[in-house]
Structures are given as structure tokens and as C-alpha cells.
Structure 1
Amino acid sequence: MAVVFGHLAFTKRGRHIIDCNGYGLRVPYNIDASDNIHSSDALFILLVEKSFNYSSLTLEGFCDRFPCILVYVDRPDVVAQLFFRKIHKDLNLPLFALVDSDPQGFKLLKFFSTYGCGGLTNNLTPLDIKWSGMRPSDLDKHGLPKLCRLPLPKRDTKILHKLLKNDFAKKNPEWANELTLMLKTKKKVEVGALSALEDISYLTTTYLPFKLQEQDWL
């Protein structure tokens, strides 16, 4: 499932006006039926993994303080990828990603950055998505408690080794360095672990604002 929320409006089949500012809308299956996509003041598009992170951002008014468009996905989804690409093409806004610091988060990031999978998307060019977080290098930078740093199981270790051999990692050496760090520390962390810090709203009040203001992304 994928949901879009924030400073975005479009028409469906040229008739029904859809406004995503104030409530989340399930990404339309028929992408071609969505037209006249516009936003009056969005500054960027943020890809979000996990419902907990999406709920935190929407309920705590992140989009009000940082006008943006959220695209929440819980797994790789071709429909969501095509919609993500369409709003990027029509609005020409920067793309950022907020995923867990684990192999699955990286695979989701890779899926949306490249052409994904399947014949529907093989002719698409790579997208310039900025990896904002959660990155392995963030663990010490933001003082994540040891209890939040989960051990990396052998299955994940094998996935990381495979990802590092992939052409995608070779073309993105900074991202590959983060995967190598994950292998070195043998730890993975979910974005939701940020709530264990001094402020339960750390994600929306400190972490993401820091990322945006300091341009801390890869």
C-alpha cells in the first residue's frame, strides 16, 4: 500500500479535484487518470517507510512547518513508484528518503531510485533521490541508545554482501560506504528508535529539521 499526503492537489480524469493537504490519499492505481498535478508551496517530496514514521510526521504537523509532499510505502510497489516519478516530473521538486537503517530500507531506496522491477518500468531512468536517513553513520551522531541498535542477523549480512556487489552500489559509493559501516558495526536501527531519545518527537522536531537545514544527505 502507498499513501500520498501534504501540499499536493490534482484532478482525476479531469473532473474530480483531489486535495491531499489535510488527509492521506491512497496512491491512485491508474496513474494516467491523474492530471493537472500541482502544489502551491511544496519544497520537496519525501519518501517514507513504515506507518509509524508516516503517522508521526502527519500527526505532529511536519508538513505545516516544512511544506512538502509525503509518499508513504510499506513495501516496493510499482504503482507507488510510477506515481512518485510522475509528481517529481510534473513538479520538479527535490526527492528525499526516510528509511530504516537496515537492508530492507536500502532495498526500498534502491527500488525507487532506479527502474525497480518488472517490464512496466524497465525504460525509466534513475532518479536522484537523496538518502536523508536513517543512515548507519547517524547512530553515533545522534546518540542512539545501545538498546535500540539491533544485532544484524546472518540473513541480513548476506543481503548486504549481495547489495555491495550490485552495480547500483558501485555507482553510489557514498551509499555503499554506509552499507559497509553497517557490516562493520553489525547493527541495524529503525527510524522509530529516535523516539527513545530525550524528546519523543525527535524525528520531527530535531532529526529531519537538522537534515534539511544542514543538507545532511547523500
Structure 2
Amino acid sequence: MTSLKSLASELVLSEVSRLMEVLTRIEGIILEIVTSLSKGEAPVLTLTNRSSWSNISFDRAIGLQMSSGSSVSVIRSDCPSSVTKFAQILKILSVIYRLVQRNSYATKRDIYYDNTQLFSSQKAVDHIVDDISCMLKVPRRSLHVFAQTFPFHRISSNIGGIRNIVSSAKFVLIVEKDATFQRLLDDNFCTKLFPCIIITGKGVPDVNSRLMVRKLWDTLHIPIFALVDADPHGIEIMCIYKYGSVVSPSNPSYSCTVYYPMWPVQCLSVSNMLWVPKDVLIPLTKRDESKLSSLLKRPYLTSQPNWQKEMELMTQSRVKAEIQSLAAIAPDFLTSIYLPNKLRYGGWV
């Protein structure tokens, strides 16, 4: 009983420390603005360029991290082209401060509808929340702002509040597309072959989806597989689940990266090329080729030779394939043949 009380006390102290850190960093930004005003100077905000890989470092123990790179954007309060964004950032900072102070939560959509005149679109709010996450150097979940409210049977909004996960599942299968996810459910895949857990982020995953997978890995310690399209976009989604993204890098204190062993289960590999009918293969576009080139330059790819091999094969063949292309062989080929063989005999790349 004493050890349980001690653990509970440590968790409470850790949570309080996390909340105080966010509040302190916001107060530091406001103090800089007030100091500038007191000197008769126009306040500015400096944002790290989240789209530049020059601002990203990779640590094998942590994952992707935002570093103090040279590529920054300066948001001036006295410049017509940036004064609106300056006001938007301050508004969202004030909302976040109140949320963290009260230990309550809101969605990005809540913030948008709170002041639609200030925010030109929902996308503007989305970008600024990510900017603030990088500016404060904390993961987005520490801001108490969620992408959306998930139905319970998918993903809870408060991943940190989920306790006592117990499962007989043999593995977790991450599915890129919701349509494929629904097909697996319809075919009763979770119980027909192996007891397993399937999860989807409906394309590029938000932080909550990644945190849920991380929670499952930390709790159950079972293999993680990814079923994605055999194209550059699918490979990037797999990388985001494992290593994080430039818009939401890791933080040493509160890991935002879902960093765990993962085996991709893809439709297009050296052995699979003969399986998929040629007429359903799709030629790579110039944008695809550019994405492949960019992916191959990412710092973590040196530790993934099989992923590199997959991308090199794609570059040489100049074709890509969607998960649905397996239906051209047989309607149930994915669930009855492809996945069972991949999972039974270790045929993942």
C-alpha cells in the first residue's frame, strides 16, 4: 500500500511539474513582450521553421527533436504582413495558459470557433498550435489542446488517463486507411487469425494516435506492425509513427515520439512485385520521386536498411501500389492470404 501511495504521489508531482513548466515558459514570452513595450520597441516573436530538416536532430534514444537551427521566422507586431499572426499567437497562448492553469482541455476546433473573426480558417489555428508547441519546446499534448474529440471505441482524448491496460493480443497492427481498417473489422480479423489490436490514424496520424500506440507498446510489449500503401506517402506515415515528424518532434522530458520496434507490412516488396497485377500498379509522379529522395536523406534511415531497400526498389521500378490493389487478385486476398502469411512466417520487410 505504501509503495502505491508513493507512486501516486510521484505521478502527481510529475504532473504538477509539467504544468508549471508550460506556464513558466508562456510567462517568459509575455515578459519579453512587456519588456519590449516598456522600452518603446515593437514586440516580436521568433518561431523555428518546422518544415526545415536543418532544424531537426535525431537521437536513437529519443527520436526526432527540434534543435536550435538557423532557419527561423520573425513575427513582428509592427509589420502589416505579420501583425495578424502575432495577434493570433497571443490569443492562443492566452487560451493555452488558462487551460493548463485549470488543468482542463479543448480541441483546436473549440479555439477556432471561440474567435472566428480573428482566425481566418481552422488551418490557421492548427498551424499556430504546432508553432507554439515548438516555441515552448514541449509536446503538443502538454498544451492541453487536442486535434479532435475521438469516439470512445477509437482513441480517448486523454491518453495519459488510460490505466490498467490488459490484453491477450499478440501484436498491434497500425492501418493507414480507415477503409482498410473497416474491412479488417468486417472480416473479423482480430479474432479469426490471432488475437490482436488494430488501430488507425486515418492517414497521417495526429499526436493522440501515436501516443495510443506508444501506450500499448509500453504496457503490453508486443510487436508493432504497420499496414500502409506501398508508396512514398505510406512510408512517410510509417516513419511518423515510429520517429515523429518535423511539425511535432520529440522532447527529452515528455516523449512525443512513438519510438518502438516496428515491422512494416507493405503491399509492395521484392517478393510481392509478382503478386500484384501490372495493370493496378501506379506510375510514380515527380512529386513521389521527390518525396522518396527526401525520405532517403532523413537521419534515422541509416538504422533501417530494409526500409531503404524498399524505397530503392520503388525508385528503380518507378511504380507504387495501394493496399486495395491486392483485391485485384481476390476480394479477400488481404485478410485471408496476404496478412496471415506475412504474420505467420515473418515475411515483413
TM range, smaller chain: 0.7 to 0.9
In 2, distance between residues paired with 1:134 and 1:104?
13
Q: Which runs of 5+ in 2 are unaligned?
A: 1-150
Structure 1 residues 119, 73: closer, same or farther in 2, change over 3 A?
Answer: closer
Structure 1 residues 174, 111: closer, same or farther in 2, change over 3 A?
Answer: same
Q: TM-score, normalised by structure 2?
A: 0.53
**Per-residue deviation at 1:117?**
4.4
| Corresponding position: 1:111 with 2:244 | no
Q: Relative contact order (alpha carbons < 8 A, sep ≥ 6): 1 or 2 greater?
A: 1
The 5 A counterparts of 1:1-218 are 25-39=153-167, 41-65=168-192, 66-74=194-202, 75-118=204-247, 121-123=250-252, 124=255, 126-141=259-274, 143-197=275-329, 199-218=330-349
In 1, distance between residues paired with 2:347 and 2:224?
13
Contact 1:115/1:122, CA 8 A, preserved across alignment: no
Q: TM-score, normalised by structure 1?
A: 0.83
Structure 1 residues 107, 85: closer, same or farther in 2, change over 3 A?
Answer: same
Contact 2:267/2:326, CA 8 A, preserved across alignment: no
- Indicate the SS of the match to 1:26: coil
Q: Which has the higher helix share?
A: 2
In 2, distance between residues paired with 1:215 and 1:68?
16
One-letter code of the match for 1:194? L
- Tell me the percent identity: 34
Aligned-pair RMSD on alpha carbons?
A: 1.8
**Per-residue deviation at 1:159?**
0.6
**Per-residue deviation at 1:76?**
2.4
Q: Which has the higher strand share?
A: 1
How many residues of Structure 1 are paired with residues of Structure 2 in the alignment?
Answer: 193
One-letter code of the match for 1:103? P
Contact 1:48/1:70, CA 8 A, preserved across alignment: yes
Aligned to 1:14: none
Q: Which runs of 5+ in 1 are unaligned?
A: 1-22
In 1, distance between residues paired with 2:231 and 2:287?
12
In 1, distance between residues paired with 2:152 and 2:321?
26
Moved more, 131-140 or 145-154: 131-140
Structure 1 residues 119, 208: closer, same or farther in 2, change over 3 A?
Answer: closer
In 1, distance between residues paired with 2:262 and 2:281?
26
Structure 1 residues 57, 172: closer, same or farther in 2, change over 3 A?
Answer: same
- Indicate the SS of the match to 1:137: coil
